[in-house]
A and B are shown apart, each in its own frame.
Chain A
Amino acid sequence: MLEAKDKEILKILERDAKIKSEKIATMVGLSPAEVTAKIKELEDKGIIVQYKTIIDWEKAGEEVVYAFIEVKVTPERDVGFDAVAKRIYKFPEVHSLYLLSGTYDLSVVVEGKSMKEIAYFVAEKLATLDNIQGTVSHFILKKYKIDGKVLEPEEEDKRLAVTP
């Protein structure tokens, strides 16, 4: 079980991976050394998996296309979904992969330079794998919110400048 302070540190880092440990220390009421030690421990335990950056590639002028691919799978004896999942996530085109409950089994997020490239990947690589019964592709048209972060500019402060 994590301590409350560990959780608080994780929440701060989840929002801003670049924040300095001195600042975290003040925010949570610990010393900088304690915070550094805690973060190290959380990294070592694999609780902090990676520090990443959310990038709006569209704004950077790069052409990036994402698609959600619903995949229906016949699970294998003994290994279930894991073996086929492994075969799928090894492709560098696969951005994320989830096992879901419901009408289909795997949700594959595929990243590509164009719709054509993704369509090709699905038709040639994904759909042809053993155990795959069928796929349905959904291309992402617009991103509104990624990992808790809304991409539109923030709403302005509507409060008066001074109130009692």
Chain B
Amino acid sequence: MLKRNGFVSKAVQDIPPSGIRKFFDLITTIKDVISLGIGEPDFVTPWHIRDMAIYSLEQGYTSYTSNAGLIELRQGISEHLFNNYGLQYSPQDEILITVGVSEGLDLALRAIINPGDEVIIPEPCYVSYKPCTIFAGGKPVVIPTDADTGFKITPRQVEEAITDRTKALLLSYPSNPTGATMSKEELMKIANVVAKYNLLVISDEIYSRFTYDMPPTSFVSLAGMKERTILLNGFSKAYAMTGWRIGYAAGNKEIIAAMTKIHQYTMLCASIISQKAAIEALRNGKSAVEEMYNEYNQRRRVIVRGLNEIGLKCQMPGGAFYVFPSIKTTGLTSEAFAEKLLFEEKVAVVPGTAFGDCGEGYIRCSYATSLEKIEEALERMGKFVRNLLNKV
């Protein structure tokens, strides 16, 4: 007999399981659910990319690659970064191919954190940021944000969160779960604070391709920020390639070398088939991305309008494929709202609290689902909210 809690480390035990996981288990018990809870594209990877992967397999590309990844892919990414932001990243030693941004994030945190170092994390945020910081031995310091400020952070909030143990600021715009984006001007003010206090920035820009109302601003493109920013991006969202697990990190030599060291001993390399597919995505994926972009943009307007009409106040998010409406008028907690909605109307949304305590009073709805399903979900949600408010 194993003793209870006998073997699992304290660090792991202390971290609560993901709020999304809990909800997932609940949903699988119910049939005919329309899910607005899915954090990945509803599109299947464009055919030419899949075709290239099949072709690569036929040609026998089944081996390891160098730790940093295929040089062709790193060159492609280097060109992509130059064309989009006018910045030079050397394919040789400033770009690392990772198993999705998830691995990139883990590597970045482990490469920079000494025990007890603090990482500033604006919330609501992606579910991994805090746990990965803790796994790396760091201490997450949360900046809570809300709808009043459009879920953006201010330079003042960052300054107030800084202590002499602060090592890095973790940014993620466009944001999962809020869809918030920050303009170049707003980010520049954050950059000033970063420079003043000599911080490092980890910028997760996985949703950058889906920035709707203005051109996307990469944090690395701001004056003086390239040297002190670890840029994380990948193919999952832009090219609908979540299952391929393929991303990259770009940054200064020293940090990329440190990340590569961890990567080499833990992951060895990203899958060669995914790397081959990613090369094809960069070369010929432009029009497919454009089409997905247009469709998300249309759905975005439909869902925001629909939610506001129902009475769930919701801002027009500038990016990603999420909206984060307030459910405060219903008087329910996020979790109770999501659960009741699931049982009564069979619509799945994710409680805002899965993304941080300040997500209370909100739910995350993904519009990476067909327009027909979004409309059906809005109808059901409308009925649900009307019933709730009439009872009061």
B211 interfacial by beta-carbon distance below 8 Å:
no
A164 with B128: CB separation less than 8 A: yes
In the bound complex, CA of A11 to CA of B295 (Å): 10
In the bound complex, CA of A12 to CA of B301 (Å): 14
A163 with B39: CB separation less than 8 A: yes
B42 with A157: CB separation less than 8 A: yes
Q: Of residues 17 to 43 in A, which have CB atoms within 8 Å of B's CB atoms? A: 23, 26-29
A162 with B20: CB separation less than 8 A: yes
Taking the closest CB of chain A, its distance from the CB of B130, in whole angstroms, is 13
A52 interfacial by beta-carbon distance below 8 Å:
no
Given A8-B294, A26-B305, A27-B298, also A164-B18 (CB < 8 A)? yes
Residues of chain A within 8 A of B35, CB atoms compared: 161-162
B27 interfacial by beta-carbon distance below 8 Å:
yes
> Please, which residue of chain A has its CB at the minimum distance from the CB of B18?
A164
B256 interfacial by beta-carbon distance below 8 Å:
no
Chain B 369-384: CB-based contact to A (< 8 A → 1; otherwise 0): 0010000000000000
Interface residues on B, range: 20 to 34
B343 interfacial by beta-carbon distance below 8 Å:
no
Given A26-B305, A155-B44, also A161-B24 (CB < 8 A)? yes
In the bound complex, CA of A11 to CA of B294 (Å): 10
A160 interfacial by beta-carbon distance below 8 Å:
yes
B23 interfacial by beta-carbon distance below 8 Å:
yes
Residues of A within 8 A of B (CB): 8, 11-12, 23, 26-29, 155, 157, 159-164
In the A-B complex, the 5 residue pairs with the closest CB atoms? A27-B298, A162-B37, A162-B24, A161-B27, A163-B39
Residues of B within 8 A of A (CB): 18, 20, 23-24, 27-28, 33, 35, 37-40, 42, 44, 126-128, 176, 294, 298-299, 301-302, 305, 348, 350, 354, 371
